[in-house]
Homo-oligomer: A and B are copies of this chain.
Amino acid sequence: MPAEPAPAARPVAAARRRRLRADRARQLADLLRHQILAGGFPGGVLPLEDVIAADYRASRNTVRQALDLLRGEQLVDRQPGVGTVVVCEKYPHGLDRLQGLAETLHEHGRVTNEVRTVGPVGAPGPVAHRLGLPEHADVLCIERLRRLNGLPLSLDLSYLPMDVGGELLGCDLENTDVFRLLEQLTGGPLGHAEITLEAVNADAHSAAVLQAPRGAAVLMLERLTRLPDGRPVDLEFIRFRGDRITMSGVLRRSL
């Protein structure tokens, strides 16, 4: 005898329940993620599932699903005999003022730079344009893989006008932010920068350089830095590993 078809309402109601469960798990994962990144779990160990369930007013099933999501993001892992532990190292990059990487992360360790490319290149048209240079002028191109305490954090590509950039060729690019070097060379503070942030999936090559999985979410920062007189001196394309960097700042309603 063929099975009786389920009434139409049944699968709809089941789908709705599944959706609600998935919503709740995601919402709980958001809260736990914040606590993890804020260092809110002492010793980096999450409470037991039923304690989380009580604290966050969620069912055990929702807690399990939320922890699965965070494991998928490689923020936590389950360790036998210990429980769910925080395994990520996510560092806060300031978003309130213009800062170099070593500067903004100085409390978190030592930034070192592997210089992959450094030297003059003929500026592609749009680079010359954005740096306010004549077409086909030479610019200094620097590509660095930047590490914090040895862990790959970002891949930075910079273009600088040769009159400023040329001076960088003899400098210690392995251990010093370009911003700091520029300020030493120009004898004063930088001015401001126009920035654009995006989330992109890493292409195969960037992922390999950053030692991240292919397709990993990358925080992409484009930054055009200017001297106090407005002259552009540094055009950068920076790929931060999404699992290692957050950007934090304060926005005001009135300017």
Contacting A218 at CB < 8 Å: which of B23, B56, B199, B247?
A: B199
Flag the segment in A4-12, A106-114, A119-127 that touches B: A119-127
Which has the most chain B C-beta neighbours within 10 Å: A58, A141, A193, A197?
A: A197
Q: Does A1 contact B (CB under 8 A)?
A: no
Give Cα distance in the complex from A29 to B222, angstroms. Answer: 13
Contact of A219 with B198 at beta-carbon distance under 8 Å, contacts A57-B122, A191-B252, A253-B189 already known: yes
Q: Does A246 contact B (CB under 8 A)?
A: yes
Q: Does A232 contact B (CB under 8 A)?
A: no
Decide: B246 and A197 in contact? CB cutoff 8 A: yes
Which has the most chain B C-beta neighbours within 10 Å: A73, A143, A194, A217?
A: A217
Decide: B247 and A196 in contact? CB cutoff 8 A: yes
Decide: B56 and A125 in contact? CB cutoff 8 A: yes
Give chain B residues whose Cβ lies under 8 Å from the Cβ of A211.
none
Contact of A194 with B248 at beta-carbon distance under 8 Å, contacts A22-B205, A199-B218, A201-B215 already known: yes
Residues of chain A touching chain B, judged by Cβ–Cβ distance below 8 Å, are 22-23, 25-31, 34-35, 37, 40, 55-58, 69, 72-73, 90, 92, 95-98, 116-117, 121-122, 124-127, 136, 141, 143, 157, 189-201, 203, 205-206, 215-220, 222-223, 237, 240, 242, 245-255
The 7 listed contacts between A and B (C-beta, < 8 Å) are: A23-B116, A23-B117, A30-B237, A34-B222, A73-B203, A198-B246, A217-B218
